[in-house]
């Protein structure tokens, strides 16, 4: 991984020593190409298209802000200027977002990128939805389902500024209610923290997920069964997904960002197609 400041490749070749020795009491200016330094502040993430990494004392995940000048939940923004073009990125904190926690925890594929259609179950006020909106960009869409009226108000306000978010204030247990709003999608992300979450995901997959589409599900063990060990709850949820034709590909622990949480990622392979 590169450091905050990467010297321009020419900077190794510093010209002749004599170039830098004082002449008439002054240092001569080195030829420009030898002194140029390029600050590499933000790079594309190697595994996740549409996600970036800002290099600093500590590296941070970030997304390219679709609405420059505006934070969504008071998150930090950074501006990078390259070739007279300014770009603004929003820092994506894995302590505030399980999707970011999953990426930082090493999952390989989140099944979404620029242009993707994502069905997001459990959108809350839109903290993570806003980053998914940046990630999929103007050619993608996030169908964000949330049943709390209060969070739903924030979500609707967020969608006024971000045209690629379609807020759906409804219960994810009843996908038939929003079937007129949601087309076939590339990925379902779920963070509803409900005991029947796997069933909710399976049902939504049947309605909306394309064959070979991705499923990303965050599991909070004690929401499902607080009497069992977290590992055994995760294993049960994976088996439930299998029964709904979702083939698990990866499971990552979200600790230390979220205690007793895991993220399960898989691919939908409906038998009847």
Ligand X SMILES: C[S@@+](CC[C@H](N)C(=O)[O-])C[C@H]1O[C@@H](n2cnc3c(N)ncnc32)[C@H](O)[C@@H]1O
Q: Where on the chain is the footprint of ligand X (CB under 6 A)?
A: 97-98, 122, 124, 127-128, 145-148, 151, 171-173, 191-194
Each as own residue / partner, the long-range contacts of residues 57-60 (CB below 8 Å, 24 or more positions apart, any chain) are 57/4, 59/1, 60/91, 60/92, 60/93
Minimum CB separation from ligand X for residue 264, in Å? 15
> What gap in Å lies between CA 123 and CA 189, rounded to an integer?
10
Q: Between 41 and 111, name the residue whose CB sits nearer to ligand X.
A: 111
Minimum CB separation from ligand X for residue 224, in Å? 13
Q: Between 216 and 238, name the residue whose CB sits nearer to ligand X.
A: 216
Minimum CB separation from ligand X for residue 95, in Å? 11
By beta carbon distance, the residue nearest ligand X is 122
Sign of the torsion formed by the C-alpha atoms of 181, 184, 189 and 192? positive
Q: Between 35 and 193, name the residue whose CB sits nearer to ligand X.
A: 193
Minimum CB separation from ligand X for residue 185, in Å? 16
Q: Between 55 and 131, name the residue whose CB sits nearer to ligand X.
A: 131
> What gap in Å lies between CA 174 and CA 197, rounded to an integer?
12
Q: Between 42 and 172, name the residue whose CB sits nearer to ligand X.
A: 172
> Virtual CA dihedral for 217, 220, 226, 229, nearest 10 degrees?
80
Minimum CB separation from ligand X for residue 131, in Å? 9
> What gap in Å lies between CA 16 and CA 10, rounded to an integer?
13
């Amino acid at each position: 991984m590169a450091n905050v400041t990467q010297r321009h490749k020419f900077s190794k070749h510093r010209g002749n020593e004599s170039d830098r020795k004082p002449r008439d009491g002054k240092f001569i200016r080195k030829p420009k190409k030898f002194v140029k330094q390029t600050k590499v502040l933000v790079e594309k993430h190697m595994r996740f298209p549409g996600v970036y990494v800002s290099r600093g004392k500590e590296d941070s995940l970030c997304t390219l802000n679709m609405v420059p000048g505006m934070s969504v939940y008071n998150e930090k923004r950074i501006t990078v200027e390259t070739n007279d073009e300014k770009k603004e990125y929003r820092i994506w904190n894995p302590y505030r977002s399980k999707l970011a926690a999953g990426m930082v925890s090493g999952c390989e594929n989140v099944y979404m990128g620029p242009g993707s259609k994502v069905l997001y179950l459990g959108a809350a006020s839109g903290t993570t939805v806003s980053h998914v909106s940046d990630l999929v960009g103007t050619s993608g869409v996030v169908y964000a389902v949330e049943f709390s009226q209060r969070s739903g108000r924030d979500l609707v306000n967020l969608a006024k500024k971000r045209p690629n978010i379609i807020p759906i204030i409804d219960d994810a247990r009843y996908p038939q209610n929003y079937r007129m709003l949601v087309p076939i999608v590339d990925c379902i992300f779920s963070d509803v923290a409900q005991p029947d979450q796997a069933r909710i995901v399976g049902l939504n997959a049947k309605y909306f997920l394309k064959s070979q589409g991705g499923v990303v599900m965050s599991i909070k063990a004690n929401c499902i069964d607080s009497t069992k060990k977290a590992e055994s709850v995760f294993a049960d949820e994976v088996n439930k997904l299998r029964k709904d034709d979702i083939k698990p590909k990866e499971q990552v622990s979200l600790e230390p960002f979220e205690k007793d949480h895991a993220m399960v990622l898989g691919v939908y392979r409906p038998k009847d197609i």
